[in-house]
Amino acid sequence: AQKITQTQPGMFVQEKEAVTLDCTYDTSDQSYGLFWYKQPSSGEMIFLIYQGSYDEQNATEGRYSLNFQKARKSANLVISASQLGDSAMYFCAMREPFVAGNNRKLIWGLGTSLAVNP
């Protein structure tokens, strides 16, 4: 069965430093996609970045990049130059395998709480 594991319940980082949030996944499908979301204390889930299993390059979106290691089944989120506003919960998610006629859902990790210290 597909599964997402985020092993770090909480992380601290100093402002302006880089931080890596871990995400490992388990799937037997060859085609899959991985998403990262941010949830600040206000509650809204904000999409950050997407990586497809066939993408040859690691995804990047501004200060966010994805360290995608397919053989290790890991898709770690790297936040460069941390800012105070980066303090939030971060969730990794994977879409279910494609089955013709089905609409796929996301499988979610339990999240990592990131605190950025001034």
Query: Does the footprint of other proteins cover residue 98 (CB under 8 A)?
Result: yes
CB of 84 to other proteins, least distance (A): 21
Name which position in 27, 82, 88, 95 contacts other proteins (CB under 8 A).
Answer: 95
Distance of alpha carbon 18 from alpha carbon 1, whole angstroms: 33
Between 31 and 60, name the residue whose CB sits nearer to other proteins: 31
Give the CA distances from residue 8 to residues 12, 70, 91, in Å, rounded to whole numbers and listed in that order.
11, 20, 11
Query: Does the footprint of other proteins cover residue 35 (CB under 8 A)?
Result: yes
Annotate each residue in 40-59 with x if it binds other proteins (CB under 8 A) or - if it does not, as one string.
--xxxxxx--x-x-x-----
**Dihedral (C-alpha) 48, 75, 105, 113: value to the nearest 10 degrees?**
-60
Pairing of strands 64-69, 33-39: unpaired
Query: Does the footprint of other proteins cover residue 109 (CB under 8 A)?
Result: yes
